[in-house]
Chains A and B, each alone.
Chain A
Amino acid sequence: MSITPDKLRYCESHEWVYLADPSTGIATIGISAFAVEELTDLVFMALPKVGQTVTAGSEFGEVESVKAVSPMYSPVSGTVVEVHTALVDKLESLGVDPYNEGWIIKVQMSDPLELNKLLDWEAYQKQCNH
């Protein structure tokens, strides 16, 4: 099933998170179409390893565009259980479909209530259009 941006939660720093099945507590994380557009041409991405712990608001990786390095911040706390390593060799897919093909990591959440602190689609759009 395709993920659409209105079903996601967002950080102010432009990462999205999606909880496909609440019973698993596994959240999928990526960066928004707005972030990809602002970063312009992406050339490199540094990703975490499976098993690494992340905390909400902390850096889990970095992305480099032609002119800039930008950290990626985790929207939730937990343990990285899957990393989309193939994405590093096809960063252009982030520009095509950042919400499906462009997923970056999956995290076993330690506190699912953290999702409630994040922006919904409407609030995130308002931030981007400011």
Chain B
Amino acid sequence: MDPIPGLVILDPPLSGPRNMEIDDALLKNARPDWPVVLRIYRWEVPTLSLGHFQQIEERESSQGLMQLPWVRRRTGGGAIVHDRELTYSIVLPKRDGQPTKGHNEALYRAIHLQFVHELGKQGWDAKLAETCTCKLSPEQKSEPFLCFSRRSPVDLIVGRDKILGSAQRRSVSGLLQHGSFLLQGSESTPQLPGLLDLEVRSALGNGIAAWQNFFIATLKDGVDQLLQVRWQNGKLLELLDL
């Protein structure tokens, strides 16, 4: 089978509403002849993003969160403080002949396993969480508000700390997956360390540029575990006129 075209878009830091507007448009306008779109981005200012069904009132439990601008994602999961982290979105347009069963779940598993592999090569104790804090019955207390305080079986943890979480929105036009790679803890959430706050020191150092390159390469390799993609760098304008 011929490789599927894939476009890597590296955006400058944008506001929360703008970042979400772009991702929503990528999913809404996805067509079967579109490439797979992998978008890497950061945020102009530290921003709290809420999972699609989360209540904004829940942030009142933390003074640090109250001071942040916030935006709502179209994907599920818990709230994320986008501060010293890298964010990705990937849109897989629905294609004729695309396998159906297990396809969506397989995407985040493939990506997270690739991070386990690559971080492990550098000496990090990286693994999938294999546990769940999910709220599966009315009797159970609600899940933690913050994504990085939650655990689901395919979350990436290093030691005991969650470092990479992803969530999806599935629609008739395709699949949108968001993910956040926590490099360093935020002052707004000091209880949640990032990868570089942990003990192992990597050859990549603490520079954001090296970690961004690592992030992009690992994401591409992860997607390639599931789909054969012919990647090229591109601009948003090639797809959308936003």
Contact = CB atoms under 8 A, between A and B. Distances in A.
Interface of A: 12-13, 34, 38, 40-41, 43-44, 46, 57, 62, 64-71, 73, 89-90, 92, 127-130
B134 A69 contact: no
B99 A38 contact: no
Nearest to B98: A130
B152 interface: yes
B166 interface: yes
B136 A64 contact: no
A90 to B, nearest CB: 8
6 contacts: A43-B135, A64-B53, A68-B76, A70-B170, A130-B97, A130-B101
Nearest to A65: B76
B36 to A, nearest CB: 18
Given A38-B102, A40-B105, A68 B168 contact: yes
A12 B171 CA distance: 11
B227 interface: no
Given A43-B134, A67-B167, A127 B100 contact: yes
B152 A69 contact: no
A103 B231 CA distance: 43
Interface of B: 52-53, 74-77, 97, 99-102, 104-105, 108, 132, 134-138, 143, 152, 154, 166-172
Given A67-B108, A68-B168, A68-B169, A92 B76 contact: no
B149 to A, nearest CB: 14
B27 to A, nearest CB: 11
A38 B171 CA distance: 13
A67 B76 contact: yes
A20 to B, nearest CB: 27
A70 B53 CA distance: 12
Given A43-B136, A128-B100, A70 B171 contact: yes
A21 B25 CA distance: 41
Nearest to B175: A68
Contacts of A34: 101
Given A40-B105, A73-B172, 16 more contacts: A34-B101, A38-B100, A38-B102, A41-B132, A41-B134, A64-B76, A66-B152, A67-B168, A68-B169, A69-B75, A69-B168, A89-B138, A92-B137, A128-B101, A129-B101, A130-B100
A69 B99 contact: no
A16 to B, nearest CB: 16
Contact of B170 (A69, A89, A128): A69
Contact of A44 (B53, B99, B100): B53
B169 A69 contact: yes
A64 B167 CA distance: 11
What are the nearest 3 A-B pairs in CB distance? Answer: A68-B168, A69-B76, A70-B170
B135 A38 contact: no
Contacts of A12: 172
B176 to A, nearest CB: 9
A38 B101 contact: yes
